[in-house]
Amino acid sequence: MKKRADLLIRNVGQMVTCAGNSQQPKLAEYMQDIGLIEDGAVAVAGDKIIAADTTNNILNQVEVTSDTVVVDASGKTVLPGLVDPHTHLVFGGSREHELELKLKGVPYLDILAGGGGILNTVRATRKASKEELVESGVKYAWQMLMQGTTTAEAKSGYGLTIEDELKQLEAIKEIGDNQPLELVPTFLGAHAIPEDYKEQPDKYVELVVTEMLPEVKARGLAEFCDIFCEDKVFTLEQSRRVLEAAKNLGFKLKIHADEIVALGGSQLAAELGATSADHLLVIPDEAISMMAEQQVVAIVLPGTTFNLREDHYAPARRMIGAGVPVALATDFNPGSCPTNNLQLIMTIASLYLGMTPAEVINSVTINAAHAIDRASIVGSIEVGKQADMVIFDAPNYRYLPYRFGTNLVEKVIKKGKIVVGGKNNAKTGAVRTEF
Ligand code: NIG
Ligand code: FE
C-alpha cells in the first residue's frame, strides 16, 4: 500500500540529499558527494520523510490526495535543513563598541583581560531576566530559521554563577519550546573566569565541577559540556578536570580549542572521546592525526576568524585530507561573531578555508548533525529522517556560497510544516512576520 503524502515538494531543479552512511560523517573525498538528484522530489507524512527520489519515480511510491500540500520547486535548489552546531544563542546586550577597539588594534584577549569582551556580556546577561533572554533568543531563532537553519546547538556561559547559568539553560529550553528551531543545549560554565575569581581561578573550576555540573545534570538541562581552553582563560589542566568530571556525569563533550594559542585542547578532545573540538586555528599536526583517529568532529568557525580579522584560518584542507570529520558553524555570539547566518559562513568557508561548495554543504548539514549527535534524525534528506528542508531560490547548489550577502531562502520546512515562506505571506515572507 502506498503511503499518503501530507506534503510533496516536486520538480526540484537540484535536490541535494547529503545522503550516505548516517553512522559516519562524510570524510576526505566523500565530502564531495552531496547525493544530488536532478528533477528531484521529496514526500512527507507527519514530521517524517517517506520518499526521496526523482519526481517521476516518487509518484509511483506515494499517494497524493487533494489534501496533500504540493510545492513546485522548478528551478530551485533544495537542501536538508541547515544545522548550526556551535552557537552562543542566549545573551544579554550587544558589543558593537568593540568594533572601534578592534580597528585601533586592541586584541580580543586583551579586551577580555581588561574586564570587557565576554565579561561585558556576563554583566548584561546577569542583569537580564529569564523572560528577557527568552524574548531575544526567540527573535534570534526566527532570524536563523528565516536564513535556513532548522537545528542549532546553544550554549550557556554568560552567567558564570550557578543561578545565572541555570537561568540561561532554562531560557534555551523555553526558546526551543516557543518556536520551530530545534535546540541542543550545552553547559559552558567554564567560558571565562568571573571577575570575583580573577585571583583564584581554580576555585571557580572547583565550583563548576562540584556544584554547577551536578546541578545541571540533575535538572537535565544540558546534553553537552564545553570549556574555553585558551591562554589567559582556562588551562589544559583545568579543562581536563572539567571535562573528565562532565564525562563521569554522563555529559557528551565539546571544547573551544587551539583558537589563539595551542594549549593541547584538541589532543585532550581526542583523548577523552569528545564529540567535537571547535575553532582550531592553530591546531598542531599531531592533534589532526589524533582527531582523525578518534573521529572527533572539527567544528570550524570561519566567521569568527573573519570578524576578529585574524590573518590565518583553521587548516580545514589539511584536516579534510587527514580524514578528520569537518563541520562548519556560525559561533553566533555578541563578541567574536555576531552573525547567525550560515549562508554567509558557507561563503567565507569557501573563499578562506578553500572548501568546495560540495564540502561546504556537507559541513552545514550531515557533518554538522554528527557534531551534535543528531545524525540519525537530521542532516540529510532520507526516508525515515525528520522532514527538515530548505528551498533556496538558487538554480543549483554552487550558487549558494557564490551569492553571498543575500538571503536566498524561499521556504523552510521544519518537522513537515512550512514555517517560513508559507502561503499566507508574500513569496519570500515568513509565517511569522513580526518580531
Ligand atoms: O567561541 N571563544 C570563546 N567564546 C566565544 C566568544 C564569546 C564572546 O566573545 O562573547 C567564541 O568565539
Ligand atoms: Fe564559541
Decide whether any atom of ligand 1 lies within 6 Å of the 117 Cβ: yes
Task: List, for residues 300-323, the tens digit of each pLDDT value.
Answer: 999 999 999 999 999 999 999 999
pLDDT at 149 over 80: yes
Reported confidence tier of residue 423, pLDDT bands at 50, 70, 90: low
Strands 389-392 and 77-80: antiparallel
Residue 83 backbone dihedrals phi, psi, to 5 degrees: -120, 125
Decide whether any atom of ligand 1 lies within 6 Å of the 339 Cβ: no
Closest ligand 1 atom to residue 95 Cα is 10
User: What are the grid coordinates assigned to 112, written together?
Assistant: 577580555
Task: List, for residues 396-418, the tens digit of each pLDDT value.
Answer: 999 999 999 999 999 999 999 99
pLDDT at 434 over 70: no
Residue 165 backbone dihedrals phi, psi, to 5 degrees: -70, -40
User: What are the grid coordinates assigned to 18, written together?
Assistant: 547529503
pTM for this prediction: 0.97
**What is the C-alpha to C-alpha distance for residues 228 and 269, in angstroms, rounded to an integer?**
12
pLDDT at 28 over 90: yes
Decide whether any atom of ligand 1 lies within 6 Å of the 118 Cβ: yes
Decide whether any atom of ligand 1 lies within 6 Å of the 332 Cβ: no
**H helix runs in 300-377, sequence order:** 302-307, 316-321, 342-353, 357-363, 366-371
Ligand of minimum distance to the alpha carbon of 276? 2
For atom 1 of ligand 1, which residue has the closest CA?
Answer: 331
Percent of residues, the chain, with pLDDT higher than 90:
94
Looking at residue 21, its pLDDT comes to 77
Alpha carbon 198 to chain centroid, angstroms: 31
Looking at residue 22, its pLDDT comes to 72
**What is the C-alpha to C-alpha distance for residues 363 and 399, in angstroms, rounded to an integer?**
16
Can you give the length of the chain in residues? 435
Ligand 1 pocket: which of 84, 86, 88, 339 to mutate (most atoms within 8 A of CB): 88
Ligand 1 pocket: which of 230, 256, 340 to mutate (most atoms within 8 A of CB): 256
Decide whether any atom of ligand 1 lies within 6 Å of the 304 Cβ: yes
For atom 6 of ligand 1, which residue has the closest CA?
Answer: 336
Looking at residue 1, its pLDDT comes to 83
pLDDT at 427 over 70: no
pLDDT at 431 over 90: no
Decide whether any atom of ligand 1 lies within 6 Å of the 6 Cβ: no
Burial pattern 306-332, b for ≥16 Cβ within 10 A else e, equals: bbbebeebbbbeebbebbbbbbbbbbb
Decide whether any atom of ligand 1 lies within 6 Å of the 183 Cβ: no
